[in-house]
């Protein structure tokens, strides 16, 4: 557990700068994870509502941020329900929203959660363990047409057809190690820049947690709660998420209610990637509410 708590927030300086954190103003960390970004928001004078659908991560964040109790509120929930979460907290307006998408270091390093192809665990991948759907259900129950579509679209996996066929012929599959072995055999042991299982695991995680539709739903709801001049900062880790954010920001800008601050996404420096390999694929986009909404 202690190892997982040594969490390095991605693009932390850029987040603080682009959120334009101001003293005593309120910011929503929609994916608090282990609390790394929230800590820096508070240390720069802000107050934070931290949201996460993962109850275990939320407890770790509470522990890590215990000295800032007077500056923090924690809410378990999915950011797709951001309107309900804010209304239940009697919050009308905030100065910024932050999304750090994808999995946390804690989730990846806890084998029982089943997120990592590097650790042997059950095929789970649920961010919210209260939900019923797991990766095992998708892997073992979905028909071929649905399975290869999930792997191909959500994972952008060029060998989705072969992987789906191999999965179906090897059912039942209950562990991450067995699934990883099956995928690796499709690649005949060949390694590129990323592990052969990376894209399939990404696809399954997205499908289990409905990540893309949840992101769309959340972005659709936030602007009425954002002060004029308030900021939205989103860190994504694959092209599907980034495309959703890019298109939403552009639509808002075309409607005259939003100013894009990052004409191209900000990516980590080589130094940051060396210090924190998780940051490798990160892209940050940011914008500011304008107009009359």
* Domain extent listing, the chain: 2-106+211-289, 111-209
Q: How many residues does the chain have?
A: 293
- Return the exposure string of 173-202: e unless at least 16 CB atoms fall within 10 Å of the residue's CB, then b: beebbbbbebbbebeeeeeeeebbbbbbbb
C-alpha 89, offset from chain centre: 23
What percent of the chain stands above pLDDT 90? 91
Tell me if the domain spanning 111-209 has CATH number 1.10.150.170.
yes
The reported pTM is: 0.95
Dist. CA 33–CA 112, nearest whole Å: 17
Confidence of residue 154 (pLDDT cuts 50, 70, 90): very high
What's the CATH superfamily of 2-106+211-289?
Vaccinia Virus protein VP39 (3.40.50.150)
What is the structure's pLDDT at 190?
Answer: 73
The pLDDT of 19-48, averaged and rounded, is 98
Q: For residues 2 and 39, which has the higher predicted lDDT (pLDDT)?
A: 39
* b/e sequence 137-155, b meaning 16+ C-beta within 10 Å: ebbbebeeeebbbbbbebb
Where residue 2 falls among pLDDT bands split at 50, 70, 90? Answer: very low
Vertex 90, ends 85 and 96: CA angle to 5°? 65
pLDDT for residue 3? 39
- Which band of pLDDT confidence, cut at 50, 70 and 90, is reported for residue 168? very high
């Amino acid at each position: 557990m202690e190892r997982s708590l040594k969490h390095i927030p991605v693009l932390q300086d850029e987040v603080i700068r682009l959120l334009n954190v101001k003293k005593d103003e309120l910011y929503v960390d929609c994916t608090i994870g282990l609390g790394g970004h929230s800590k820096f928001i508070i240390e720069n004078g802000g107050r934070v509502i931290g949201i996460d659908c993962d109850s275990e991560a939320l407890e770790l964040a509470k522990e890590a941020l215990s000295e800032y109790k007077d500056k923090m509120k924690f809410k378990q929930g999915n950011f797709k329900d951001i309107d309900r979460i804010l209304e239940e907290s009697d919050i009308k307006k905030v100065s910024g929203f932050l999304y750090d998408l994808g999995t946390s270091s804690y989730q990846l390093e806890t084998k029982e959660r089943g997120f990592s192809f590097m650790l042997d665990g059950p095929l789970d991948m649920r961010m919210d363990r209260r939900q019923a759907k797991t990766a095992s259900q998708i892997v073992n129950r979905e028909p071929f047409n649905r399975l290869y579509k999930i792997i191909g679209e959500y994972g952008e996996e060029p060998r989705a057809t072969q992987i789906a066929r191999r999965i179906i012929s090897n059912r039942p599959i209950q562990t991450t190690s067995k699934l990883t072995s099956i995928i690796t055999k499709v690649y005949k042991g060949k390694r590129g820049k990323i592990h052969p299982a990376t894209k399939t695991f990404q696809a399954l995680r997205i499908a289990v947690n409905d990540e893309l539709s949840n992101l769309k739903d959340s972005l659709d709801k936030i602007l009425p709660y954002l002060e004029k001049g308030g900021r939205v900062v989103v860190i994504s880790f694959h092209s599907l998420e980034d495309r959703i954010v890019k298109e939403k920001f552009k639509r808002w800008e075309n409607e005259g209610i939003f100013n894009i601050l990052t004409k191209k996404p900000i990516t980590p420096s080589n130094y940051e990637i060396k210090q924190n390999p998780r940051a490798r694929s990160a892209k940050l986009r940011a914008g500011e509410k304008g107009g009359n909404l």
